[in-house]
């Protein structure tokens, strides 16, 4: 068994850069191991016009370490997003076009206050996306039911898979859909039966592959693992792993790397989001190694995502080496704010060791 592996430079199908000082600190963490990424639009204010996406893309390209990285922009499915803006986004301007529209269930996660309670209210926008061939990216959890009752957060994904997703697939037969950050056995099973390259795909985060809720609660609640969807039971993690290890053409890496400033993460109401870009490719590789599936790693990390979004996989390569190391430092912004990455030796689940290293 070789101790190194060389693959096309990965593609992140789901990343949060935020804006301002956090963005300036984290872009280089992504570009270290990813050549292109689908950039999430849940900034404040949200990205829901082409002009806003152009601004945001320029901010990313101006960040330290951006190099020749290609940020692929998205809109947020808000009540003010119009079919006209979808059509503009599909054509693009100033080197920016729109690669997806993200739906957040109202109230479920960071800056989800602009999301719909019932996505079907956005029917005209969804129809235009279907026509313009722009994918719908789903935070697939039901947070609040139609009668205003809050769903159990461990059941949100199950409710979405059993109720909302089948109706979406029926109502918009040509709409391309990506189910983001799978976290449950029921979602993994649904994707295995219904996934189809170019129509219904899914992304998986490193944290949902590596951790389950035993680690999230080991010795107290581990705030660096606090995210939506919550990390689930061991059997859920096993099902998500088994799906990833199959090397299916409709399953790809989407890190959902989501940095928060230290004071929001380490607070009595910890912000949702796992900041993983400093360790994501390493953790994915570790999980694939543990599953004896390193031969499927490149499809998952570098090929499947570009195929869905209609871009070329990266020509550049990276080499990973099997070598133990630990994350000992936070990432610090130019304003002195600390961002703690998952796997940190002290603030993670305790004395974690990364098994693979990007050379
Ligand atoms: Zn996300």
CB 322: neighbour CB atoms within 10 A? 16
How far is 19 from 193, CA to CA, in rounded Å?
38
* pLDDT tens column, 91-107: 999 999 999 999 998 87
Residue 143 has a pLDDT of 86
Token pair recorded at residue 178 = 């990506």
Cα 181 to averaged position of ligand 1 atoms, centre (Å): 8
**Candidate list 256, 289, 324, 334, residue with the active-site label:** 256
Contacting residues for 111 by C-beta, under 8 A, at least 6 apart:
42, 43, 44, 46, 104
Cα–Cα distance measured from residue 62 to residue 311, given in angstroms and rounded to the nearest whole number:
22
Q: Which of 84, 14, 70, 74 is nearest to 46 (CA)?
A: 74
Distance, CA 15 to ligand 1 centroid (Å)?
6
What span, in angstroms and rounded, lies between the C-alpha atoms of 14 and 181?
9
**Helix, strand, or coil (residue 88):** helix
The residues spanned by each domain of the chain are 4-358
Residues of the chain with pLDDT under 50: none
Q: Is-contact 261 22, C-beta < 8 A?
A: yes
Alpha-carbon distances, residue 270 vs 194, 221, 274, 350 (angstroms)? 35, 10, 11, 18
What is the pLDDT at residue 281? 98
Distance CA 12, CA 313 (A): 11
From residue 49, give the alpha-carbon distance in Å to each of 11, 81, 94, 205, 339. 24, 7, 14, 27, 29
CA of 39 to the centre of ligand 1 (A): 9
Cα 24 to Cα 62: distance, rounded to the nearest angstrom: 8
Q: Output the pLDDT for position 130.
A: 98
Beta-carbon neighbour count of residue 28 at 10 Å? 17
Collapsed DSSP state (helix, strand, coil) of residue 53: helix
Within a 13 Å sphere around the CA of 140, how many CA atoms are in the beta-carbon half?
33
User: d(Cα 266, Cα 348) in Å, to the nearest integer?
Assistant: 12
**Length of the chain counted residue by residue:** 359
Query: Following DSSP, what letter does each residue of 183-226 receive, concatenated?
Result: -SHHHHHHHHHH-BTTTEEEEE-HHHHH--HHHHTTTS--GGG-
Rounded CA-CA distance 102/210 in Å is 25
- What pLDDT score was predicted for residue 105? 84
CB atoms within 10 A of CB 251: 28
Does the annotation mark 289 as catalytic?
no
CATH class of 4-358: alpha beta
- Distance (angstroms) between ligand 1 centre and the Cα of 95 equals 24
CA distance 294 to 278: 20
Instruction: Please compute, for residue 241, the number of CA atoms within 13 A of its CA located in the half-sphere on the CB side.
Output: 24
Q: How far is the CA of 108 from the centre of ligand 1 (A)?
A: 11
Q: Coil, strand or helix: which one is 297?
A: helix
Counting Cα atoms < 13 Å in the Cβ hemisphere of 192 gives 15
Q: Structure tokens of 228?
A: 């939506």
* Cα of 2 from ligand 1 centre, angstroms: 34
Q: What is the model's pLDDT at position 1?
A: 57
Q: How far is it, in rounded angstroms, from Cα 175 to Cα 126? A: 8
Rounded to the nearest angstrom, the distance between the alpha carbon of 277 and the centre of ligand 1 is: 13
Q: What is the pLDDT of residue 180?
A: 98
In degrees and rounded to multiples of 5, residue 106 shows phi and psi of -45, 125
């Amino acid at each position: 068994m070789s101790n190194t592996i060389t693959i096309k430079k990965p593609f992140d199908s789901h990343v949060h850069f935020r804006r301002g000082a956090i963005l300036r600190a984290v872009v280089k963490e992504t570009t270290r191991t990813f050549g292109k990424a689908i950039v999430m639009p849940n900034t404040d204010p949200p990205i829901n016009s082409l002009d806003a996406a152009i601004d945001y893309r320029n901010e990313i390209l101006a960040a330290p370490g951006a190099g020749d990285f290609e940020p692929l922009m998205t809109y947020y499915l808000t009540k003010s997003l119009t079919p006209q803006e979808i059509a503009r986004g599909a054509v693009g301007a100033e080197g920016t076009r729109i690669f997806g529209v993200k739906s957040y269930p109202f109230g479920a996660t960071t800056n989800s206050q602009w999301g719909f309670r019932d996505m079907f209210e956005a029917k005209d926008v969804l129809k235009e996306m279907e026509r313009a061939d722009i994918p719908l990216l789903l935070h697939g959890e039901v947070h609040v039911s139609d009668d205003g009752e809050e769903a159990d957060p461990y059941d949100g994904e199950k409710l979405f898979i059993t109720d909302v997703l089948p109706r979406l697939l029926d109502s918009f037969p040509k709409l391309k859909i990506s189910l983001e950050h799978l976290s449950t056995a029921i979602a993994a099973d649904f994707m295995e039966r219904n996934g189809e390259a170019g129509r219904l795909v899914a992304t998986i985060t490193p944290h949902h592959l590596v951790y389950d809720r035993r680690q999230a609660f080991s010795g107290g609640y581990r705030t660096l693992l606090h995210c939506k969807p919550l990390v689930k039971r061991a059997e859920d993690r096993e099902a998500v792993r088994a799906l990833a290890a199959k090397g299916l053409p409709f399953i790809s890496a989407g890190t959902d790397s989501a940095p928060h400033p230290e004071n929001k993460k380490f607070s009595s109401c910890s912000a949702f989001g796992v900041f993983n870009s400093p360790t994501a490719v390493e953790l994915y590789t570790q999980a694939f190694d543990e599953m004896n599936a390193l031969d499927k790693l490149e499809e998952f990390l570098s090929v499947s995502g570009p195929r869905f979004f209609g871009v070329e996989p990266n020509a550049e390569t990276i080499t990973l080496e099997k070598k133990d190391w630990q994350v000992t430092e936070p990432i610090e912004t130019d304003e002195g704010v600390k961002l703690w990455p998952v796997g940190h030796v002290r603030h993670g689940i305790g004395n974690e060791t990364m098994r693979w290293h990007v050379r």
